[in-house]
Structure 1
Amino acid sequence: MKSPILFLLLFLSIQFCVLAQEQVQRWDRFEITLAGPQNGNPFTDITLAAEFTLGTEKIRVNGFYDGGGSFKIRFMPQKTGQWKYKTISNSKVLNAKTGSFTCIEPQEGNHGPVQVADTYHFKYADGKRYYPFGTTLYAWTHQPQQLEEITLKTLENAPFNKVRMCVFPKYYSNVENEPEFYPYVKTGETKDSKGKTKFTWDLSRFDPDFFKHLEKRIDDLKTIGIEADIIIFHPYDKGHWGFDSLGKENDLRYIQYLTARLSSFRNVWWSMANEFDYIKTKPRDVWDTYTKAVVAADPYKHLCSIHNGSVYYDNWKPEFTHVSIQNGSTVEDFGRATLLRDVFFRPMIYDEVCYEGDLPQRWGHLSGEEMTAAFWHGVIAGTYVTHGETYKNAGDTIFWAKGGRLIGSSPARIGFLRKILEAAPGPLELADPWKDHQTATADSSYYLVYFGKEIKSEWTFNLPKKAGPRANRKFAVELIDTWNMAITKLPDIFETAEPTDYRIFDKNHKSIRLPARPYLALRIVEVKM
């Protein structure tokens, strides 16, 4: 016969199991695991949250059912110190459980979540500048494990620090495979008269294995310094699974579950939808409801946007932190990228400007030169651009959809631009957005001039008067070959004269000889002599 003490310990280990770290870095994840009831439907019958306190600060966080009788609550501390918590639940077994942990200073590489800075740009929470250089991998987490690992290895050696990725699997041209995991418990699978598989789901029960796999991949991205731009809804289903037409009640339940699981991941961004206006099962006005539900459930206020197809959404609404735009024409030439930025007064990311590749569709066959130039046009205008690659690859994969290996010519050039931008003293803005769409500035000591496709044999040193340097300041110039990824320091030192009309020239009107080829730029930096 078991002793009463032994029985009590066994009972407590089953009924109340808290697996939590005693110390957690700032912006890392603290997790509470509780054993709870499995009868009925724990996804819908049980409510669970916790209130975390540090001095007078109180933060309420939603919990979730993780299957197998396990309930979890996750918290991302944003301040150091001794945090205390108390659970809140309609289950007596889960209610009023208390504990504490210590939040310590972050270690190297942990800069916190990305936030908006200076109206049009971004910083990590610790103040370090963040310049988004993204790529597109819509369905990469719905592929065989070997392919997912190849994708991660590719990303580890690629220049990108943001990935656009879908939660739900994608059933679309070039990506019609069945994933290993589904977000809901499958209740049936039949074939129609044409041999097409039809699925039925219990939409009141999520499959935790699906979300655990997604979480692992988000953490994998975090390890290599990549932000996960999570696409919550998309139209690429075609009735195959029905995840694009769950109905409002099920959509909101899914949002509640997703945000409870993912809000504590510091590298998560929320993208309400990809091509929201192509999801015909959801009227336009429901997106306000869904966006507010996401923002209300996320106590850390991660970045949030909504991506368009043909029609822009109301991106100035307060729930949106930045603008995610599909429009290739905005970065085909100079001066266009800044126009939408001036409409929405938000950081502008042109997340779909067509893709480098060889697909027959017009959106899938940019050349490497065109993709690279799109990035330069965006950056010069004080905006940002997202890459995608649509070449057929080994194993019949396309990076934009399934992942795999990159074979295009633009990623290396995009990485070259990223290094140039990160070496600047700050984010770029057009120096004179009214008239000069080729000259960007970080401040009056730093300029970047991009010539694009234009071939010039000579360039007379000149800068915009607007926000320009005073007279008698000296500048060195470097010639940047953006395609061949070469930087050449020029021997001359230029000295500014008093402005003439709207321009500032060298006092001796000195010029620079340029090689007769396109895609050149100049980096102009003040020197102290």
Structure 2
Amino acid sequence: MKNLFLSLLVIFFSIQLCAAGSSKKAVSVGKYRVFEQVVENRQPYANRFTDVELLVQYQAPSGRIVNFFGFYDGNGQGEGDARNGHIWKIRFMPDEAGTWQYVYRWSDGTPGGKGSFTCSGQGAGKGILKAYAHNPHWFAYNGTEPVWLKSYYETGHGSIGQDFDWIVAHVYQPLADRGYNHLQVNWLLSLCCFGQYYLDGPEPETLDLALYQEGKLTETMNLDVWKRMEQHLGWLNKRDMGVHMFLGVDGSQNEGPAWNKLTPEEKRFLVKYMVARLAPFANLAGWNFVWEVPGDRENHELGFARLVKEFDVFDHLRTYEDEFPRENFYHLPEYSFAAIENHQIAAPEKNLERNLWRDAWTHHMACLLGYTGKPVFMSEGNALWRRFWHERTGATQDDLRRSAWACATAGASFTWNGHEKEYELYAGGPSGLPFNQENPFLQSEQAIDVLAGVMQEEVDFYRMKANDNLLTNHQPLQVYALAEPGEQYLVFSPGGNTFALTLQPGTYSRVCWIDTKTGEKQSGNEMTVSGSAESVDFVPPSASTDWVLIVRK
């Protein structure tokens, strides 16, 4: 009986061990998602940020080798400092399905290690935004899958200090539900303005949200802020919502830590550290130095872009924001897209043209001037922002809608903003996000939906370019054309302006007018152009609204 009992006991534990072994799954990561591994190093260092480096070499299933690096993260939970903590992390974004191998080592000779993970198509992300290879006016995932950016400017500098679940429920989820696939934000990277959080939300858990104190980079690195930023970035990454950093790394523009107070060595360390932490997130949709800089300063935006280009093995987009795109430096290889405003289009001094910043044509011209063979993104169009700019320029919702179309017909992307206050930020109510009946800018949100629907469903936007030269007999600077000549044409005509459009020979079976306020469609007759190109006169259905004409084969 005793032997039988022992035999049964052995069988029982064997079953339990087998069951435990079968439930233990190998690490698997979706393509273009984030692989992360914790690594410990308990060696005594005076400064764990700078005294040692964690160097990692990855081998793709194809055999391709990628050299990258890890980063020090305190206790791994947002706590610790340069002297207290023993957690480093390895992060990576795989772009090939199959088994990846990695080897890590420490720069001071401390023993390293190795490992592997599987990358699969299940749960794959879209990839990284780049210029569309076949028509670089537009963005495309990995340069091959075109995407129309439906972008909103979310301005909660201090929102990462509030309860994360509340922000998701009241800010991010409503944007995702309405098809927004791109956000411009102020909390990435976090350097200033933390009083700007959602006043109708919970009280902030903390307003200690500066990444570091000026002049004391590694001594004051705030690991809790990195954790909070990555929580927000990670949620958006899982939903393939791109994130463009608006305020960038130079806090001096907003009374935060100044870039030029860092030594060359500190600049290099900061860029390498932020790349190690953030670049594995595919939805990082643009490294930006800060708003409104000239573009050619070696010790500022140009030097920053060069460092990012050196360290970011994933090659995320890089830019600076040019207030005056009439003269820009986007042709330089350090920059891979243009982030612009609509200033200094008509006059050499800002004050001479301030009254024009509400006009659609300044947005259109700025987008055309910013194009150097790389995508253009209207980062701060004055008519496109209810926040800050409408009260200063007298812009209306008509101006907002027309300026959005002016950007699109220039072959450019843009972001817009429909909440009211700069410092009194709300998610709901009449001055909050424009997604409720109380908010008068709900009609602007609906007009953006109409625009997005036309670009995503009515035309193959990624094959089209700005073609105002095809227009004649119209009011100057008021009617704009986007076209793939001989195949498809889109013309925006505000207020029912008449115009003539030059069409290449062929039969155009799809002729349609769309009201840009309501989305209502009115079909036109099939058209045939014989022989040679022909200028055809068009009269919109009425002068009481703004119309877009679509002519397609």
TM-score by length of 2: 0.76
Amino acid in the other structure paired with 2:267:
D
- Cα offset, 1:219, TM superposition: 1.6
- Cα offset, 1:372, TM superposition: 1.3
Amino acid in the other structure paired with 2:317:
L
Residue of structure 1 in register with 2:32 after alignment: 27
Residue of structure 1 in register with 2:97 after alignment: 80
Deviations 1:390-447 (A, max 9, x none): 5139x93167xxx952232322211221121112224231345375662222452322
- Cα offset, 1:296, TM superposition: 1.2
Is 1:219 aligned with 2:227? no
Residue of structure 1 in register with 2:351 after alignment: none
Is 1:148 aligned with 2:167? yes
Distance 2:224 2:245 in 1: 18
Query: Pairwise mapping of residues 399-410 of structure 1 onto structure 2 (< 5 A)?
Result: 405-406=433-434, 407=439, 408=441, 409-410=443-444
- 1:171 pairs, out of 173, 185, 193, with 193
Q: Give SS of 2:49's match.
A: helix
Between Structure 1 and Structure 2, which shows a larger proportion of helix residues? 2
- 1:429 pairs, out of 465, 469, 483, with 465
Q: Is the 8 A contact 2:511 2:551 kept in 1?
A: yes
Amino acid in the other structure paired with 2:238:
T
Q: Point out where structure 1 has 5 or more consecutive residues left out of the alignment.
A: 1-18, 187-198
Q: Give SS of 2:276's match.
A: helix
Deviations 1:463-508 (A, max 9, x none): 324xx2x24x143322211012222334x32222334xx6344xxx
Distance 1:353 1:258 in 2: 28
Amino acid in the other structure paired with 1:438:
Y
Q: % of aligned pairs identical?
A: 16
- 1:67 pairs, out of 74, 81, 93, with 74
Q: Count how many residue pairs are aligned between Structure 1 and Structure 2.
A: 472
Q: Point out where structure 2 has 5 or more consecutive residues left out of the alignment.
A: 1-23, 76-85, 346-358, 473-478
- Cα offset, 1:524, TM superposition: 1.7
**For residues 132 and 38 of structure 1, do their structure 2 counterparts lie closer, same or farther at Cα, with a shift above 3 Å needed?**
farther
- Cα offset, 1:236, TM superposition: 5.9
Amino acid in the other structure paired with 1:286:
H
Query: Pairwise mapping of residues 188-267 of structure 1 onto structure 2 (< 5 A)?
Result: 203-231=218-246, 232-235=248-251, 239=255, 241-243=256-258, 246-248=261-263, 249-267=265-283
CA RMSD of aligned residues (A): 3.5
- Cα offset, 1:152, TM superposition: 1.4
Is 1:125 aligned with 2:142? yes
**For residues 244 and 363 of structure 1, do their structure 2 counterparts lie closer, same or farther at Cα, with a shift above 3 Å needed?**
farther
Residue of structure 2 in register with 1:455 after alignment: 496
Residue of structure 1 in register with 2:340 after alignment: 325
Residue of structure 2 in register with 1:13 after alignment: none
Amino acid in the other structure paired with 2:482:
A
Distance 1:144 1:227 in 2: 21
Deviations 1:176-196 (A, max 9, x none): 99853434467xxxxxxxxxx
Is 1:50 aligned with 2:50? no
**For residues 449 and 474 of structure 1, do their structure 2 counterparts lie closer, same or farther at Cα, with a shift above 3 Å needed?**
same
Between Structure 1 and Structure 2, which shows a larger proportion of strand residues? 1
Distance 2:190 2:260 in 1: 12
Distance 1:435 1:385 in 2: 24
Amino acid in the other structure paired with 2:221:
F
Residue of structure 2 in register with 1:380 after alignment: 409
- Cα offset, 1:223, TM superposition: 3.4
Distance 1:204 1:349 in 2: 36
Distance 2:387 2:292 in 1: 26
Distance 1:390 1:278 in 2: 29
Distance 2:65 2:221 in 1: 30
Q: Give SS of 1:151's match.
A: helix
- Cα offset, 1:513, TM superposition: 6.1
Residue of structure 2 in register with 1:367 after alignment: 396
TM-score by length of 1: 0.79
Deviations 1:84-105 (A, max 9, x none): 1111212554x43111122222
Q: Is the 8 A contact 1:28 1:77 kept in 2?
A: yes
Amino acid in the other structure paired with 2:543:
A
- 2:488 pairs, out of 423, 437, 446, with 446
- Cα offset, 1:365, TM superposition: 5.0
- 1:389 pairs, out of 379, 396, 418, with 418
Distance 1:202 1:349 in 2: 31
Residue of structure 2 in register with 1:195 after alignment: none
**For residues 365 and 233 of structure 1, do their structure 2 counterparts lie closer, same or farther at Cα, with a shift above 3 Å needed?**
farther
Distance 1:290 1:20 in 2: 41
- Cα offset, 1:309, TM superposition: 3.7
Residue of structure 1 in register with 2:515 after alignment: 481
